[in-house]
Chain A
Amino acid sequence: MAVINIEINGKKISKEVPDNILLSDFLRERLTLTGTHVGCDTSQCGACVVHLNGNSVKSCTTLVADCDGAKITTIEGLASNGKMHPVQEAFKKHHGLQCGFCTPGMVMSAVDLLEKKKNPSEQEIRDWLEGNICRCTGYQGIVAAVKDAASKM
């Protein structure tokens, strides 16, 4: 057990946590931030993607103990003043989701891409979303959403 200081969605948190707790479990079970989903739990599906110090990572393969002093953004931290993030808006508009299970991770990955690259090509979007699996949409709506969001960020 150790006391961990982290900033989650702009809020500073200090909590005593077991050394072996994963960031995904910590977010969902200790902070009830259940927007971050756990699909495969083997770092393949990408439903658990969050931002750690400005980079997208798989929270199911990150130890909270390893995040001491870090800034974390989850899907709950994207909207501001009740207004959805442009990527969230675009996913809604372009039907970038059906069941919605993969969506939090898909959106967090897409936001990371668009923060690093302003106008990615369709191929660059598809390459970047390689670590996010969607079993419903066939990806067309997702790619269209990311493209549209790119023009609004």
Chain B
Amino acid sequence: MKSFNFKSATNTKEAAKLVSGRATFLAGGMSLLPAIKLRLAAYSDLINIKKIKGLSGIKVSSKSIKIGATTTHAEVAGSKEVGKSIPSLAVLAEGIGDPQVRNRGTIGGSIANNDPAADYPSACLALNATIHTSKRKIAADKFFKGMFDTDLKKGELIESIEFEVPEKSAYAKYPNPASRYAIVGVYVAKLKDNVRVSITGAGSCVFRSIEIEEALSSNFSPSAVDNVNISSKGLNSDIHASAEYRAHIIKVMTRKAVSSC
């Protein structure tokens, strides 16, 4: 494994100071460490943020759930509060990787990495999330910029993610049979003011489907998407699924999500 310096920060200011040059933040390491091992990434320093107080934990109010950046997937999946107010979010967390990955992997790390097949970015978009960082608040709609790319600036640390509590919501994932990542994942949320539908795994970056949102706004039922035309243009095509197949699966997963709302 390529060499680097390991440093632990005790507060966000110290973390920002330490992350200069070719350094980066380390949370659970479930994406970062494999990337370094495979020589897809190299850093001078890894700044451990798990010892920063206040970065982990779940706060619930009637309108939103705020989850600290270093909260693990297992903690979200097992949280009674999350299960009660946004059950679909607990289901999503329970479906990430395997138990050992869920014991280490964090929500902040997942969205900072913005893997095209990650689950959490779809929850952020569908549940109209706000990303609280060490510098500002970012709307989820502006956060996910492209493949492995976000609006985060150098040294900016995610502190928490605040999800709007929907009237109803569901996440349906068509997983890769071996690795369980989303070949296509569809998150459907009926919020107070509108319906939001986000799709992960199908494109180079998570995105919202305006066509499906419009169809579900006028008729929130599985059959509402029957006449919606999902274009395969720009969707991922690989050995697991062609772009046309992914376009088809988007509708299948949408129906599944809506019917389990």
Within 8 A of A (CB), among B1-42: 1-6, 8, 26, 29-30, 33-34, 37-38
Q: Which residues of A pack against B, CB within 8 Å?
A: 2, 18-22, 41-44, 46, 49, 52, 55-58, 61-63, 65-66, 68, 109, 112-113, 128, 130-132
Decide if B101 is an interface residue (CB 8 Å cutoff): yes
**Number of B residues, CB within 8 Å of A:** 27
Decide if B104 is an interface residue (CB 8 Å cutoff): yes
Which of B33, B48, B98, B103 has the most C-beta atoms of chain A within 10 angstroms of its own C-beta?
B98
Decide if B218 is an interface residue (CB 8 Å cutoff): no
Decide if B99 is an interface residue (CB 8 Å cutoff): yes
- In the complex, which of the residues B1, B29, B98 contacts A62, with contact meaning CB atoms closer than 8 Å? B29
Cβ of B100: which chain A residues have Cβ within 8 Å of it? 43, 46, 49, 56-58, 109, 131
- SS class of chain B's interface: helix, strand, loop or mixed? mixed
- In the complex, which of the residues A20, A42, A56 contacts B99, with contact meaning CB atoms closer than 8 Å? A56
Residue-by-residue, is B41-57 near A (CB-CB < 8 Å gives 1, otherwise 0)?
A: 00000101010000000
Q: Please state if A61 and B4 are interface contacts (CB–CB under 8 Å).
A: no
The 6 closest A-B pairs by CB, nearest first: A131-B98, A19-B6, A65-B6, A55-B103, A130-B98, A58-B100
Chain A min CB distance to B117 (Å): 15
- In the complex, which of the residues B4, B8, B74, B101 contacts A20, with contact meaning CB atoms closer than 8 Å? B4
Known contacts A20-B1, A42-B34, A55-B74; A128/B99 CB under 8 A: yes
Cβ of B5: which chain A residues have Cβ within 8 Å of it? 19
- SS class of chain A's interface: helix, strand, loop or mixed? mixed
Q: Please state if B3 and A18 are interface contacts (CB–CB under 8 Å).
A: yes
Cβ of A128: which chain B residues have Cβ within 8 Å of it? 99
Cβ of B38: which chain A residues have Cβ within 8 Å of it? 42
- In the complex, which of the residues B26, B48, B99 contacts A131, with contact meaning CB atoms closer than 8 Å? B99
A65 to B51, CA, bound (A): 13
Q: Please state if A61 and B3 are interface contacts (CB–CB under 8 Å).
A: no
- Can you add 9 more A-B contacts, CB < 8 Å, to A46-B100, A57-B100, A132-B98? A21-B1, A22-B1, A42-B37, A42-B38, A52-B103, A61-B34, A66-B29, A68-B8, A131-B97
A49 to B98, CA, bound (A): 12
Decide if B180 is an interface residue (CB 8 Å cutoff): yes
Decide if B62 is an interface residue (CB 8 Å cutoff): no
Residue-by-residue, is B169-204 near A (CB-CB < 8 Å gives 1, otherwise 0)?
A: 000000000011000000000000000000000000
Chain B min CB distance to A143 (Å): 15
Cβ of A109: which chain B residues have Cβ within 8 Å of it? 99-100
